[in-house]
Amino acid sequence: MRARNLKPGFFKNEDLAECEPLARIFFEGLWCSADREGRLEYRPKRLKAEILPYDDCDILHLLSQLSQKGFVIIYPEVNPQFIEIPTFHEHQNPHYSEKSLNIPSSTQLKESSENIPGNIPDETKSKRAESLLLNPESLLLNPESRKASVPDESRVLRTDNCPQEEIIAAYHKILPELPKVKTWPEELRKILRTRWREDQGRQHVGWWENYFKMISQSEYLMGRVNGFTCDMEWIVRPKNMTKILNGRYHNNGAQGNKHSGIKAWLEEKRGENDTTGL
């Protein structure tokens, strides 16, 4: 389990207040059990032992309450395998070095199940089946994972599992001042996909959120110096990304070297939070 943030608004959430007290405590425990993307395996007995070891309660009933209120998503619907906390990144800021369990999002799993050969109309089955590039190892979890109880084909993701829409949504949320992404053609998808694949550390949305936060601290990139404004296309191009990660644009708009990269920037911001008591 991991240390997580708890905000005062938690205690005043009216929807959460309609859940039993143990369900609210259990919800907090799910944050600590989830990986950096807010996802974890659906293992009720183990979660009961980890989060509420001293309480006599029906853990499935507590999960059902949280699910009905939309605080968690349990998926797939048949033979549940995973749990997702939809608002995880709105309230949590995982450490950049925290590992992801590589659990697919509920959206990804739904899309992959829709694209497996068994779900394709008869008239297009043969052509589409040959074109699907499936990766049977894409859902490998930690060494303690139990064997999947869902059919193998529903657990298989496409080789291209870069969550482009989620990354673009994070760009819009964190950098609202920058130009909006109106279209994202295949040429740009290939560029973003390459940036995603070339470094394992980038293969979770949390890394991209921190990348966008780093950009938001640059006077130059945010268009406050010399009238230049970057956009999503510009910041994912290889040379530009390298300069950003090396801190070349974080010296009051000039290409100086105030920061030595995104890791140094994150450490600096974390230090500032520590000194202010946040």
**pLDDT tens by residue, 67-103:** 999 999 999 888 889 999 999 988 888 887 888 888 9
Residue 263 or residue 213, greater confidence: 213
Domains in the chain (CATH in brackets) are: 8-91 (1.10.10.10), 106-158 (no CATH), 164-276 (no CATH)
Q: What is the pLDDT of residue 147?
A: 41
On whether the CB atoms of residues 33 and 40 are closer than 8 A, the answer is yes
Residue 59 or residue 269, greater confidence: 59
Q: Record the pTM.
A: 0.44
Does the structure show a pLDDT above 50 at 257?
no
Q: What is the pLDDT of residue 154?
A: 36
State mean pLDDT over 172-189. Answer: 93
What are the DSSP E strand ranges found in the chain?
39-41, 73-75, 82-84, 134-135, 157-158
On whether the CB atoms of residues 250 and 217 are closer than 8 A, the answer is yes
Cβ burial of 148 (10 Å; 0-12, 13-18, 19+) is middle
Angle between helices 205-216 and 262-276 (to 10 degrees): 80
Q: What is the pLDDT of residue 148?
A: 39
Cα(65)–Cα(72) distance, integer angstroms: 9
| Phi, psi dihedrals of residue 73, rounded to the nearest 5° | -120, 125
Tokens of 6: 């708890």
List residues bridging with 119 in a β-sheet: none
Q: Which of the four pLDDT bands, split at 50, 70 and 90, describes residue 161?
A: confident
Q: Which of the four pLDDT bands, split at 50, 70 and 90, describes residue 236?
A: very high
Q: What is the pLDDT of residue 76?
A: 87
Q: What is the pLDDT of residue 145?
A: 42
Q: Which of 46-50, 158-162, 223-227 has the lowest mean pLDDT?
A: 158-162
Mean pLDDT in the chain? 78
